[in-house]
Structure 1
């Protein structure tokens, strides 16, 4: 005998067992096929496939003073994190309630007045506050990537993009005054955050260069010839030495139009006397990173 259909409000979203019973759904139906149990006390029409969906599954269980925080809040704001973070526990902070133990959930205590927002239908730490919180979890380079993202145009949410670096500095200063965990790592990351960065890989490339003692390049500066003809806007460049460094993701290879534009752009720079370095994922790690850095150092020396 086929199972009865769920009421319209519950047929497309996660819901608590309490809500289901209130709407007249029997416990037998809740135990039946076609529903998954992402968390104790919650049912969902389908298994969650992302951090956003996992957060929505937990949402029916949150108390009024609980909200998603730390790394989870950063993910909900659409900020860049390694894929492995998708598999980690959800981070939930509470200002009043006693922290409850739940499988797949990391609980935290937050101060009253912690800046908050709402995104993807979920209560969350405000973007910069989540970045400060995540300093207890993330490494320095990950924090720099998030900082670059907050100061850049990466997030689809206006509250989490193109923020002044001064806003990040003020939040880090408050964290230092409160002697919050991770404050030293946060300060180290803040010193490396830059505005105008367009992707996480650009951040990784810049950090690779600086970490090996080479001068910090300029970021996304439009370059022209002496007579004013436009050359392009390389990811990283050294204007005085006429050196350009361009990160090329896989779409630069698979997109025929992009591939042609890349060739034309590199030709313009080379014709104008620039050294033009095309970098891929392979160049961000050994052994190719070493070879790239040697070539870049040589060009800086010869053109300096």
Structure 2
């Protein structure tokens, strides 16, 4: 728009016209923050110790205009170049943010004419609480896979705290990895029978479970190793019983001690001894066992038949 000024003196001499054109600019610029910030609009425990880059775009803003970015209670400045801008919040300042909850992030700019853009806002959450994960044991009932179980599927289940539904649990059994999904802080995966059959035939197999919450905070790894023992134990009766494998008239009125040995049997395991129609139990200690049949029961044995 043209703006001119004219004047003459009393003698009628005109001054050279003064001119100062003026522009009219009432169009509001715009500004936007490019999100999600920190990848997911959440600062986790790891990210809380790192710088945070906040970038964005403008329209109708000249190069060199200053963008004011406010994060929580601190303010940072960026410069518009080709309608783009970026600022980095130092790691120290990120570390000073609250440990939980939402933090306001805003950006403001004006064009050279002084027209302000509507403030851009992109709040960011802070979540640094580590979740937890556990494996529910004992696995296979006793943390041991025996010969029968080595041909069967193996179910591995567990629990979490602070993990959202839908998060993936990574379960590693030996050298193979399986995945489960968290639902109401519980998870379960089944190792196929074929894979169980491929486990070593003896020794310990590592079983671990890992998970992170949506913010990316990892839980401390859960571990529940399981042993594989498919070697069949042995048991023997130490004879001859009654000295000669014969119960005579005198011995039929006396207690009868039956002893034996085992291999590959742990202390405390129960031995079932059947004499005729009656059953007795003994306990393995150092791969040996012994049971005494009471005199009354010996007396009830048949008089001429093989009983054991």
- TM-score relative to the length of structure 2: 0.22
Q: Which structure would you say has the larger Rg?
A: 2
| Higher normalized helix content (fraction of residues) | 1
| Higher normalized strand content (fraction of residues) | 2
